[in-house]
Structure 1
Amino acid sequence: MPRQHIPYGSGWAMPFPAPYPALVRDGDRAWSSGMLPVDGAGALQHPGDVAAQARLIAGRIAPLLAEAGLGPDSVSRLVLYCASPDARDETEVEAAFLDALASPALIEFVPIPHFYYDGLLLSVDLHCAPAEAVLENPLPGGGRARLMREPGSLVLNLSAPVASIGPVLGGLLTLHRLSPDRLMSGWGIAPEPMLSAVPGQIAPRLPGFFSGALMPCYRRDDHAHLYLTFASDEIALDERREGGVRLHLARAHDLAVLDARFLGGAAVGITDQTRAVMNGIAAVLAEHGLGFGDVVKSTTFYAGSTSAEDLHGNMTVRNGYYDAPGPASTGVPIARMADPGSKVRIELVLRPRPAG
């Protein structure tokens, strides 16, 4: 089946120029762009009401998937980027999406400090793949672990108190026989006052986890959140630093994940950092016989102001590297990166196309 790019429908449109599709389907997998609570003119709906925003977005999942010939039961994972400061909202927001799906999916709840439009509290990514049932384990001392197996990979979402996250992670790796050498993608967030304590907890158990992949969030509680993907088999890994950019490419099965981040430089603006990161990405892809046409999903974390101009500026740079319609795309504003002066981190998911 050729790759499908599903455009935004008449009932909703992005509030900014969006040359990328609402959904990309490639065989048995699909990825959405960040779904926002907007109408057909791109106007924000239910400003400041995260529960209503969740219900609106959840109601659009089935129609969007139907355009790609998929049903709600195809959703394996939902990533909820939520800017509500009230931790009590999490349960209600998650419930809205579970009600909209035909079968349980792994929900990754990502608290962020703000969005780029006043009153916007939620952006949602869909991931579709054949998947096994989600395993959820409450953890001693608080927190939880959610785990799901997809073809060729295992996704682990861990939320636990900062003081215990290291031993908890080590126990989960042992329990589920997860090899640190097969880490495809790993990042996390933690409350600003506790951020520096997290790398020392993780490094002995997961040496491949880069401390710069940690980002601060406002303090809802004392929990750190880790978002980890492991390959089922051995991975081919290319890790390098070039031109002030750290690049981490992991390939396994029929997928590849490329994590690229600017390493610092307070005097370098967000647009120039984005350009440096994209140039680094282009170089490493070319060396591996890959290109931007193989990218199915792009997620950009950026630490600028709260303005839409920062979003639009780095989006314009990124879009220049793709032929339309490009990959599914999500932009996530954060307070700051772990590396001083760093403003941009981009994670790409690639599904290499058959030769010819």
Structure 2
Amino acid sequence: MKKDPVSPREHWTWPIPTSHSQAVRCGDMIWVSGQVALSPRGQPVSDALSTQVSAAMANLGLVLSELECGLADVVKLLCFYVNDGLVDEDKFLSLVAAHLPAEARPAVTAVPVSYLPFERALVEIEAYAMPANLPRHHLTMGDFSPLPKAFSTVLRCGKMLFVSGQSPVTPDGRLLDAGDIIAQTRQVMRQVGAALSHFGAGFADVVKINRWYVGQGRTEDFEPAALACAANFQEPGPAATGIPIPHHALAGQQIKIEVVAMLGEDGSHLPRRNVWPDSLWDWTVDIPYWHGLKCHDMIFLGGQVSLDAKGRAVNPFDMRAQTAQAMVHIGSILRELGAGYRDICKLTTMYAGPAGPKALAENMAIRQSFFDAPGPATTDISLSVLAYPGMIIEIDAFAMAEPDTHA
């Protein structure tokens, strides 16, 4: 499928030369790289969170304008923000909401982190957008996690359904099952199921699920909640990514889950094709997620890592080797779906390492070597640990290709 990549000249740039683009348009989708509060010379614009949010959202608007779109076209925001335990997440989301036109009402997920890759950065915001002339439907009321009124619990646009990150929190802000990640996961999945059912969808229509859970990089942190979440799906399940973070905004909150689903515009359930190449790794527990799936023209991959068939790190703590292996896995999945690296529109890379250009450059240089310029959009998030011991990078890939033809 034809792709239109853009990187405005007056926009900030990454700290190393790169083939990545600030945004890519393909079909009805626009994928925008994580936007930060940097000047065109790559310098931080402020040390105040509110000012950085304003600058990041202005950069987001600038990128969209290059594609003759705007903030009214945004359907989903993923907002990473530095939180040392003192930042009120509702207030942070209100800062973001203040820059959105009233008609947008995108889905949103806020993820607190300890630091970001860029110097003195406090926020990084990525976006999906779709043309405003496509019919949109919003769900804003119900027994779901509270959000500022500028956001939707679920936004449906065309065939896509975006469910905002759900927390085990009542509409009046009361945390449920504090400290119990299994009970909280079950509660959150009930909320996700109810949100999907509002549009006639269910877990069988989910194409991508992201879990943001409190963990310290141990297998025992990952497995119990992963199983509780996976119990909602049957084989072959969606693509999935699970990322540990040090804490959530509320003390005692252990989990937040967001999903993307696809449903025919007439309410029909869409066929999909799932793949699991023989060369791919496996988890330490039996869960129904598959490494890649194609639904209509959309391709979703689970987070790709450097593990073996028993969930053990390959080349432990070696960033360059693990990055290359994750990218090779991505290529293997895409080939089984009749696609390739050229079809990737967006990468989201989570890596274990410190803030600063050196750690970012170590994996970015490997990733971009798989693409001809101009490459896909990218979001890069630095963390202290990832899900399994010795594993230090996980890469989400989103691609688009012509729909499969069926006899």
Change (3 A) 1:150 1:335: farther
Letter in 2 for 1:190: Y
Unaligned runs of 5+ in 1: none
Letter in 1 for 2:189: L
The 5-angstrom pairing of residues 160-175 of structure 1 reads: 160=168, 161=176, 162=181, 163-170=183-190, 172-173=192-193
Kept after mapping to 2: 8 A contact 1:50/1:122: yes
Letter in 2 for 1:217: P
- Name the residue aligned to 1:3: 3
Percent identity (aligned): 19
- Name the residue aligned to 1:256: 299
TM-score normalised to the size of structure 1?
Answer: 0.88
The 5-angstrom pairing of residues 26-45 of structure 1 reads: 26-45=26-45
- Name the residue aligned to 1:135: 139
Structure 1 residue 131: deviation in Å?
A: 6.1
Q: Tell me the number of residue pairs that the alignment of Structure 1 and Structure 2 aligns.
A: 353
1:292 maps onto 2:292 in alignment: no
Change (3 A) 1:175 1:290: closer
The 5-angstrom pairing of residues 48-87 of structure 1 reads: 49-86=48-85
Change (3 A) 1:174 1:105: closer
Kept after mapping to 2: 8 A contact 1:50/1:84: no
Kept after mapping to 1: 8 A contact 2:345/2:399: yes
Letter in 2 for 1:249: G
- Name the residue aligned to 1:180: 203
* RMSD, matched Cα: 2.9
SS in 2 for 1:184: strand
Structure 1 residue 52: deviation in Å?
A: 1.3
Question: How far apart are the structure 2 equivalents of 1:52 and 1:192?
Answer: 30
Change (3 A) 1:199 1:283: closer
Question: How far apart are the structure 2 equivalents of 1:92 and 1:174?
Answer: 26
More deviation, 50-59/1-10: 1-10
Letter in 2 for 1:186: I
Question: How far apart are the structure 1 equivalents of 2:300 and 2:315?
Answer: 27
- Name the residue aligned to 1:237: 274
SS in 2 for 1:82: strand
Structure 1 residue 297: deviation in Å?
A: 0.8
More deviation, 160-169/75-84: 160-169
Match of 1:332 among 344, 367, 381: 381
Structure with bigger strand share is 1
SS in 1 for 2:333: helix
Unaligned runs of 5+ in 2: 169-175, 264-269, 284-289, 308-312
1:158 maps onto 2:171 in alignment: no
Kept after mapping to 2: 8 A contact 1:296/1:350: yes
Question: How far apart are the structure 2 equivalents of 1:143 and 1:266?
Answer: 42
- Name the residue aligned to 2:20: 20
TM-score normalised to the size of structure 2?
Answer: 0.77
Question: How far apart are the structure 2 equivalents of 1:211 and 1:69?
Answer: 32
Structure 1 residue 46: deviation in Å?
A: 1.0
Kept after mapping to 2: 8 A contact 1:203/1:209: no
Match of 1:148 among 130, 141, 155: 155
Question: How far apart are the structure 2 equivalents of 1:87 and 1:241?
Answer: 46
Match of 2:231 among 196, 204, 219: 204
Question: How far apart are the structure 1 equivalents of 2:109 and 2:260?
Answer: 12
SS in 1 for 2:305: strand
1:218 maps onto 2:247 in alignment: yes
